[in-house]
Structure 1
Amino acid sequence: MRLRCRLSCAEVFEGVSQGETEAEALRNIQEAIQLCLDVRRAQGLPLTIESRQIEAPIYA
């Protein structure tokens, strides 16, 4: 049985990572985060972005 995992990290970049297993998805997102941080550092940008979670009622 194949397992598809999807991970995200909004505090660093707006993106997601996938993998056939949880371990592969984790490796993929770690690599994506590192590459994003390298680019942001080279461009003199902040390493993280502000992130907030809110709850909003849904009316049917």
Structure 2
Amino acid sequence: MELSAVLTPAPEGGYVAFNPETGTTTQGEAVEEALANLVEATELYLEEFPLTTSARSLLTTFHITEHA
């Protein structure tokens, strides 16, 4: 099963990893660690709460005008 992962730098260092299909969130000191932790957390989540849809998340960007 292929799922999405969104990784963002954490203010205290490392990365926060988020899976939008399940809502699972975790962290790690490096990208690889954060992603491995997300895989584990998501697998545990799916054992209790199987996905009922196969729809994939869509990641896009948008622009905000900067105010002076």
Instruction: State the TM-score, normalized to the length of structure 1.
Output: 0.58
Structure 2 gap ranges (5+): 1-12
Instruction: State the TM-score, normalized to the length of structure 2.
Output: 0.53
- The count of aligned residue pairs is 54
* Aligned counterpart in structure 2 of residue 18 of structure 1, from 5, 18, 27: 27
* Aligned counterpart in structure 1 of residue 52 of structure 2, from 18, 25, 46: 46
The match for 1:6 is 16
Query: Which has the larger helix fraction?
Result: 1
Higher RCO (Cα < 8 Å, 6 or more apart):
1
Q: CA deviation at 1:30?
A: 0.1
Q: CA deviation at 1:6?
A: 1.2
The alignment-based identity, stated in percent, is 30
The match for 2:42 is 33
**CA 1:48 to 1:35, structure 2 compared with 1: closer, same or farther past 3 Å?**
farther
Root-mean-square deviation (Å): 2.7
Matched AA of 1:34? E
